[in-house]
Amino acid sequence: MTEGDVKALPVKERRYVKSTGQGLYVEIHPNGSKYWVWQYLFPPSKQGKSESIHIGTYCNASGVVMPLKRAREEKNRLDVLRKQGRNPKLEKSKEKEEVTGIGSQTFEEIAWEWFGDYSTKKRPTTAADVKLKLKNQILPKFGKYPIKQISRPECIRFLQSHVSRGKPEQGRKLLGVMRQVFAYAIDIYSLYSSNDENPCRSSENTQTGHRAKSRPALTDWKEVPAFLVAVSENKCKGEFQTNIAVKLAAFCFLRASSLVSSKWSDINWNEKMLTTPAEFMKGKREHLTPLSSSALELFRKLEAINGDEEWVFFSPRGKKYPYINPSSPNHHIKNLGYEGKMTTHGFRAMAMTHGREKLGYSQEIIRLQLAHFDRDKILGAYDRSSFIKERTKFMNEWSDLLLENGLEV
């Protein structure tokens, strides 16, 4: 494999590795970063245990760091140590400490390495949000510092700078990202002796006093019909796809990111079922949504314009996504005059409230359809088998209720 071959390796949705020969691999992460990994036996004999070690970064957001030639030279250097009976992993760890005992790796190097692994485990929208936090707010402040030189007081001051600007929740989230980067450094590189030394660990001093607010939702039924009429009339002249996305959110009450990331392959027209893959669900479980006739009709309208594409809500203008931005339905609701009163997520609260009060369904059935499994793991285990009939009946009656009160397909 040549330098050009390494550079040309494509980025995929999941992390994968490619051999360059003699036990040296390049590990490609979904965020575009590529890392060198060497697999070897230690002790160097047939009875040796197979081990692997990250020996450097080929490239990250800043560009090429360690070209193929240098990676092979580093592998060969470590191989000499291995043949001398010295475990390369331990030797490499020692070398990452400067003479003063302070880790030489920068926060940025560790952060992008951590993110490469993190992004494979999270929804694309979540990973994209964290990436922006790193690039725009955290790395400009801490990126060039050796990670072990960053002190807890500096982290606290960083948090307090956001609190003083009236952005306590933003500061809390940024500190949470940093906490995960430090935890990765602790676990992978032993840069600290224990998690208690994580500079961003939680304590009374990291509490901002912020309390999360429930997202606006029309839990008073008297307000619902007028809103449904507003969506149907589309007086703000929102885009066709976005307006349909809001209608489908009303029928299906999926989270916006889960809905707009749907593919045509996720729809079973005969069984009237939409399957949302685990990677697009908050709980990381595949989820089934029974589709009413009205919901299917809306999907058919989208099929007429996007049927040849992979994504149901395909958008040729999309920069971050190949489909419409998950925030678009919320903006549409805002433009209809419901800012601070209703959101796409609010359809979930509507379903729970009015599904019980107007239709008389049990909380358990509605919770299953909302994919709320955290409080009852036993019920959650039956998502793909039991209660589908009950959930289908509920979804059809919910659809009828919306149609009777002003929502038009």
At position 175, the amino acid (one-letter code) is: L
**Residue 204: pLDDT band with limits 50, 70, 90:** low
pLDDT at 329 over 90: yes
* Bridge partners, residue 321, by sequence: none
Residues 62 and 122 grouped into a single domain:
no
Q: Classify residue 86: in a domain, yes or no.
A: yes
Q: Which tens digit of pLDDT belongs to each residue from 83-104?
A: 888 888 777 766 655 433 445 6
Give the domain extent around 201: 107-206
* Cβ pair 287, 237 in contact under 8 A: no
Look up residue 321 and give its two tokens. Answer: 């996504």
pLDDT at 386 over 70: no
Is 100 among the domain residues?
no
The listed range with the strongest mean pLDDT (122-126, 158-162, 211-215, 333-337) is: 333-337
Is residue 313 a contact partner of residue 253, using CB atoms and an 8 Å limit?
Answer: no
- Examine residue 215 and state whether it is found in any structural domain, yes or no: no
Coil/strand/helix, residue 148: helix
Distances (CA, A) of 307 to 10, 75, 109, 310, 376: 27, 50, 42, 8, 38
pTM reported for the whole predicted model: 0.55
Q: pLDDT, tens digit, for every residue of 273-288?
A: 999 988 888 767 788 9
Q: Which of 114, 164, 121 is nearest to 282 (CA)?
A: 121
Whether residues 143 and 187 fall in one domain: yes
- Please answer whether residues 95 and 55 qualify as being in contact, where contact means their C-beta atoms are separated by less than 8 angstroms: no
Look at residue 212 and tell me if it is in a domain: no
Last residue of a domain, one of 95, 117, 149: 95
pLDDT(233) > 50: yes
Given a contact cutoff of 8 angstroms between Cβ atoms, the answer to whether 58 and 66 are in contact is yes
What digits encode the pLDDT tens for the residues 63-84?
788 899 989 988 998 888 888 8
Q: What is the pLDDT of residue 102?
A: 41
Q: What is the mean pLDDT of residues 31-43?
A: 89
Q: Residue 40 and residue 50: Cα distance in Å, rounded?
A: 6
Q: How many domains does the chain have?
A: 3
Domain match, 377 and 270 both: yes
Do 225 and 188 reside in the same domain of the chain? no
Mean pLDDT of the chain: 85
Q: Where are the alpha helices (DSSP H) in 166-290?
A: 168-189, 224-233, 240-252, 256-260
